[in-house]
Amino acid sequence: MHELVATGNDRAAAEEVAEKLGGVCYLSDPNEQRTLPFHTLVRCVTDTPSELQPAAAIGLYLGFSRVIRERTVSSQPGDISPGITAIFPLLRNQRLTHEQADAHWRDVHAPLALRHHPGMWDYTQLSVTQTLRGQEIDGFALVSFESLDSMKEKFFGDEHDKQVIYDDVASFADPSSPRRVVSTETIFKSRPPSPVVNWPTG
């Protein structure tokens, strides 16, 4: 199922939209001083994209999610999920088409990520099929860890892990891809998002 992905900087708007549409909301650290490509990301399923406009000041995308690894702990709807999520916006290597880069990300990089990120307990690839507003993006990698310390200490097991991942990323991603955004996640209904309205099927 396709979902809409909105990026922006308004934390209150992102939470309000995500809650209203039963989506998922990611918020960066409010004390973050670095320049980030966005501070909020909202995922939801709706047939009215205009409902995301308050949360889409930076960009709005149509895509679908691939859950590569799912954490074994959960939270109540509306509560902040356990752990911390690093969001990596992905621009494809210009030698590749979107389809080629996306296939490599799915078929080659995902298995490598599972082996060489020992502390990664949750991993979703958001593959973008259409940029509706903002910078052209090929995808968003949502890489989660048990804690900020775990992300810092266990992102790679050793230098070999780091080199394998760096070499592979360089083969399908553009090095000018935007900076990662470290965030919290709140799931208001389900993840991946499901529509809040059931349409007639008969």
Question: Given this model, what pLDDT does residue 179 score?
Answer: 94
Q: What is the mean pLDDT of residues 16-21?
A: 96
Percent with pLDDT over 70 in the chain? 98
Question: Given this model, what pLDDT does residue 24 score?
Answer: 97
Question: Given this model, what pLDDT does residue 192 score?
Answer: 84
E strands of 134-193, at which residues? 139-145, 181-187
- Of the pLDDT bands very low, low, confident and very high (cuts 50, 70, 90), residue 201 is low
Question: Given this model, what pLDDT does residue 122 score?
Answer: 95
H or E element in which residue 13 lies: helix 11-21
21: nearest Cα among 167, 146, 188 = 188
- Contact indicator for 112, 168 with CB cutoff of 8 Å: yes
| Alpha-carbon Rg for the chain in angstroms | 16
Question: Given this model, what pLDDT does residue 199 score?
Answer: 67
Q: What is the mean pLDDT of residues 171-184?
A: 96
Question: Given this model, what pLDDT does residue 202 score?
Answer: 60
pLDDT tens per residue, range 116-145: 999 999 999 999 999 999 999 999 999 999
Going along the chain from its start, the domains and CATH numbers come out as 3-187 (3.30.70.100)
Question: Given this model, what pLDDT does residue 33 score?
Answer: 85
What sign does the CA torsion over 31, 37, 40, 41 have?
Answer: negative
Extract the tokens encoding 54.
Answer: 């308050």
Q: What is the mean pLDDT of residues 89-104?
A: 97
State how far the alpha carbon of 182 is from the alpha carbons of 99, 106, 133, 138, in Å: 27, 22, 22, 19
pLDDT tens per residue, range 38-89: 999 999 999 889 999 999 999 999 999 999 999 988 899 999 999 999 999 9
What are the backbone angles phi and psi of residue 116, rounded to the nearest 5°? -110, 5
* pLDDT tops 80 at residue 14: yes
- Contact indicator for 69, 114 with CB cutoff of 8 Å: yes
- Of the pLDDT bands very low, low, confident and very high (cuts 50, 70, 90), residue 32 is confident
State how far the alpha carbon of 175 is from the alpha carbons of 79, 88, 93, 168, in Å: 35, 12, 8, 12
Q: Cβ neighbours of residue 187 under 8 Å, at least 6 residues apart?
A: 24, 75, 77, 78, 81
